[in-house]
């Protein structure tokens, strides 16, 4: 079985109740729920929430693969990890260790069903243990040294021999949109990624995650160009 798991809580601080705030005419969580529901490889979509309001909104989506899971309050706090609610759900489910668990995050509404299907196909073909969605960034990056913001050093290039952009491989950045791992691996390693890890490259416009109001404004404009209801 392939299960898509979308954790959404009601306690967002940066944008109150952002998971059901309307984005281009639909609640934010609708977009990833719709993509997962339409993906051919997905058998079931689980929306895990602690919020009555979110449950009421999700219940009227009319998406046939969706089930709602009541997550425990301790795994919906500001300090709780996403892994905690994943493990909570897996512990009470009848999933087999060989089943595939797709963690999909509602804050990445540019994710489409074809992305999920193609990512799963790469996962199968690569014989990887787990996979994440990512974008290739061709930016020259620097890091802080010893926690001092006044001292920095390059991460991915030699500034004295600056490569041309077309000759620069860049770095892979996680988008946070989708992760695939087996149930058995997640139970064993208590992590969304484990073992032999690969990535599926998404278009650069999908990289935005909605965490702040400015992200909301940017994504709304992008969706007008790339996403349809």
Of 9, 71, 98, 162, catalytic: 162
Which two tokens mark 196? 């032999």
- C-beta contacts of 120-126 below 8 A and 24+ residues apart: 120/2, 120/39, 120/41, 120/180, 121/41, 122/198, 122/200, 123/180, 123/198, 123/200, 126/198
DSSP-assigned letter for residue 60: T
Cβ atoms of 194 and 118 within 8 Å: the answer is: no
Look up 165 and say whether it is catalytic.
no
Question: Given strand 100-104, what is the order of strands in its sheet?
Answer: 66-70, 44-49, 2-7, 100-104, 171-182, 130-137, 197-201
Active site residues: 162
């Amino acid at each position: 079985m392939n299960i898509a798991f979308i954790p959404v809580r009601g306690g967002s601080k940066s944008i109150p109740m952002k998971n059901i705030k309307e984005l281009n005419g639909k609640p934010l969580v609708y977009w990833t729920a719709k993509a997962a529901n339409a993906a051919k490889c997905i058998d079931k979509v689980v929306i895990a929430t602690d919020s009555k309001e979110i449950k009421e909104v999700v219940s009227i989506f009319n998406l046939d693969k969706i089930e709602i899971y009541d997550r425990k309050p301790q795994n919906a706090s500001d300090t709780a990890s996403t892994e905690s609610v994943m493990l909570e759900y897996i512990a009470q489910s009848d999933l087999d260790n060989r089943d595939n668990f797709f963690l999909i995050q509602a804050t990445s509404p540019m994710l489409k069903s074809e992305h999920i299907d193609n990512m799963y196909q790469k996962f199968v073909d690569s014989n990887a243990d787990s996979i994440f969605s990512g974008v290739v960034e061709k930016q020259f990056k620097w890091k802080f040294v010893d926690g001092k913001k006044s001292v920095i050093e390059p991460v991915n290039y030699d500034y004295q021999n600056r490569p041309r952009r077309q000759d620069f491989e860049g770095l892979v950045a996680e988008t946070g949109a989708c992760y695939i791992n087996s149930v058995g691996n997640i139970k064993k390693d208590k992590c969304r990624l484990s073992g032999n890890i690969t990535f599926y490259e998404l278009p650069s416009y999908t990289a935005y995650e909605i965490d702040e109001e400015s992200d909301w404004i940017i994504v709304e404009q992008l969706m007008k160009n790339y996403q349809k209801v």
